[in-house]
Structure 1
Amino acid sequence: MTAVRPDTDAAGDLAEVRDLVAPHLLATVRRLNPRMRRVVGYHCGWWDEHGTTLGADAGGKSVRPTLTVRSAEAVGAAAEQAVPAAVAVELVHNFSLLHDDVMDGDRTRRHRPTAWSMFGVPEAILAGDAVLTLATEVLTTAYPAGLATEAVRRLSAAVLRLVDGQTADVAFERRTDVTLAECLEMAGAKTGALLGCACELGALVAGAGATRTGRLRQYGEHLGLAFQLVDDLLGIWGDPATTGKPALADLRTRKKSLPVVAALSAGNADADRLARLYLRAGPLVEADLPEVAELVDRAGGRRWATERAEVELGAALTCLRAADAEPVAATRLVSLGRLLTRRDR
């Protein structure tokens, strides 16, 4: 495996793949009816609520499409071969975000109102349903029948795992006895499944064998868990000016995120104090939130999540080496993994 490029190169790599995939993604979304197209395009960051096109840097980071494209290259295929698969994965990701924002009641994403708060809950739910359907359609029209069927099967399996993870996440809100093992399993399903599938589909449509495809899927799954750990850290200690979400957002909703559950499970005095505050029957007030964040930190939740993210990144890179990836693509995937575990948004 060649030397790791700086993280700034990984950021450029994300932009390069976004430029490659974006026209195809936009063309796919334009097949929707005007109302749905308006909601999805707004959610994706392409235009404002009136349909006015925004700047070239608008939209998401394209993490999943980049994993798909670079995984195809890792087994020797051209990037273009994986573009339809990358579009399908990104559509599924946006399906999950549209629905998550409704379920979580989040009013802000990417520094502006969420789709449901702008257009209404029914429109956001239907927009999510629409892009999920488009994801399957993209695969079935872009690849030969046998390959398309297998790609759809694997994407569907990842969606079911994602739904399982989200179901567990919602159920945790009503429980006071969530274990760290349960929380890790939930995060692996909610985030790791789709990142793993992104890599898997890239290798699959490139014609890779089962072993290399499986190793790349495992790389993505471990990276997904590391990604979620960092996301949970940012949900408490991230800078709102950078993340686009309110300060202490995950604590305000008493989310059973990984740092919180790790802290609650610590078995020390700070964990006990945190449990009395966080798990009480009455609501948290705004004045409680800084103390809760401090208790999560002092009980060890922040340190545990930071260290576990590094462990998962290490496991991801071990799987990548086992996949015998092409050197240039491997270097890009290593650098991307490091960027995603050291991000601030």
Structure 2
Amino acid sequence: MPTVPSADTTAPAVDVADVTALLERGRALAMPELRAAVARLAPPMDTVAAYHFGWIDAEGRPAAGDGGKAVRPALALLSAEAAGVAAEVGVPGAVAVELVHNFSLLHDDLMDGDEQRRHRDTVWKVHGPAQAILVGDALFALANEVLLELGTVEAGRATRRLTTASRKLIDGQAQDISYEHRERVSVEECLEMEGNKTGALLACAVSIGAVLGGADDRTADVLEAYGYHLGLAFQAVDDLLGIWGDPESTGKQTWSDLRQRKKSLPVVAALAAGGPASERLAELLAADAVTESDDQPAAGGDSDGFTEAEFATRAALIEEAGGRTWTEAEARRQHAVAVRALDAIDMPDRVRAQLVALADFVVVRTR
């Protein structure tokens, strides 16, 4: 079996107050425009989307949901400032990226069979699969509309980057699904998939404000490089939370990625490591594939056909084989590459420091 590559183990420091302020600014500036965009949708899609974002509950009553962490809007606003213009210039880009992100969440939840997101039932669970598909499609179309109605050359450039990122995101989801049915996936294939599924849109988020502000392609490309590697760090952390995350923090079931047979980074790294734990894990996953094809739940198991103890065994083998440690180190390595990318362009020191603080936040978050 191939040797799992080594990764840096230097942990970043996080200025929590600074990051919280950046995320709150992203919400404050982008959320009113996001709500206005969603209000354009025809009923019942407008209320279904409002439920997804956490603005109303399943009965249509106002709720206190904030629509997620708001990392992408925060990055889009900083992107504009990196180009020397006001943060507000990046608001249409922030809204467009957030719409595409949530289009992907609606479809992913349905394809993956996820029943919980942000501590609530997912849209397909409450409103049905058809509404999840339709609202996702509507959000995707709306994202391009929000940008193109600006009517500027910069808006056209921004839309081109957004559509390219969206296509890569869809490529990544297709790869992710196909990997669930393969016995083996290499670390390199997994990183390519995660670069498409997560890195591409985060890269767009951190360049789109600069493009709307008139930045040249070189500046936008450097910011995209930062965002791409930050996306890989972000997804590596998501992969860790998908196995070992606290459901109270993540809003998902225990062992959520193991339930879906995902070939996430901890899994593929563990399988590539070799040794008794790796070999035993490979045997269990091969047996899982047979059980899944037979579609016969095990006695005393859940709807997946496995008991909680069996999921715990798989998680323990992944950790014993080194998959957890390697993924933690890979998240930090991608973080370091992202931060170094910022050295290639000039920007205000304050903006650079805030981009670094957001990168730190991504690596140490717990949800």
AA matched with 2:363: T
Matched, 1:310 2:332: yes
Q: Are the counterparts in 1 of residues 233 and 335 from structure 2 also a CA contact under 8 Å?
A: yes
The question of whether the paired residues in 1 share the 8 Å contact of 2:15 and 2:357 is answered with yes
Q: Deviations over 1:139-165 (max 9, x none)?
A: 011241x22222211111001100110
Partner residue of 1:199 out of 187, 203, 206: 206
CA distance in 2, matches of 1:5, 1:167: 34
Question: Partners in 1 of 2:102 and 2:318 — Cα distance?
Answer: 30
TM-score, structure 2 length as denominator? Answer: 0.90
- % identical equivalent positions: 49
Mapped partners of 1:274, 1:36: distance in 2: 43
Q: Which 10-residue stretch deviates more, 314-323 or 93-102? A: 314-323
Q: How big is each residue's C-alpha offset from its partner over 1:106-137, in whole Å with a ceiling of 9 and x where there is no partner?
A: 00000010000000000000000000000000
Could you tell me how far apart the structure 2 residues matched to 1:257 and 1:123 are? 28
Give CA-to-partner distance per residue, 1:298-342, whole Å, 9 cap, x none: 000000000000000000000112222211111111101101110
Which residue of the other structure, out of 152, 160, 163, is the alignment partner of 1:153? 160
> Which of 88, 110, 115 lines up with 2:118 in the alignment?
110
Q: Tell me if 1:271 matches 2:293.
A: no
Deviations 1:22-41 (A, max 9, x none): 00000000011120001111
1:86 aligns with 2:84: no
Report the AA paired with residue 284 of structure 2: L
Pairing 1:163–2:161 present: no
Instruction: Verify the 8 A CA contact 2:116 2:252 in the aligned structure 1.
Output: yes
Distance 1:209 1:273 in 2: 52
The alignment of Structure 1 onto Structure 2 pairs a total of residues equal to 340
CA distance in 2, matches of 1:331, 1:174: 42
Structure 1's unaligned 5+ residue stretches are none
Match 2:266 to one of 248, 251, 259: 259
The answer on whether the counterparts of 1:7 and 1:338 sit within 8 Å (CA) in structure 2 is no
Q: Structure 2: any 5+ residue segments left out of the alignment?
A: 1-12, 293-304
CA RMSD of aligned residues (A): 1.2
- Report the counterpart of residue 46 of structure 1 in structure 2: 55
Corresponding residue for residue 17 of structure 1? 26
1:122 aligns to 2:123 (yes or no): no
1:5 deviates by 6.7
1:65 aligns with 2:73: yes
- Matched to 2:105, the amino acid is L
What residue is the counterpart of 1:236 in the other structure?
243
Q: Which residue of 2 aligns with 1:330?
A: 352
Contact 1:36 1:127 in 2 (8 A): yes
Shift in Å, 1:74: 1.1
Residue of structure 2 equivalent to 1:208: 215
**C-alpha distance in structure 2 between counterparts of 1:166 and 1:254, whole Å:** 14
Instruction: Find the aligned partners of 1:171 and 1:323 in 2 and give their Cα distance.
Output: 38
Are 1:5 and 1:332, in contact at CA under 8 Å, matched by a contact in 2? no
Residue of structure 1 in register with 2:291 after alignment: 282
1:36 aligned to 2:58? no
The answer for the alignment partner of 1:74 in structure 2 is 82
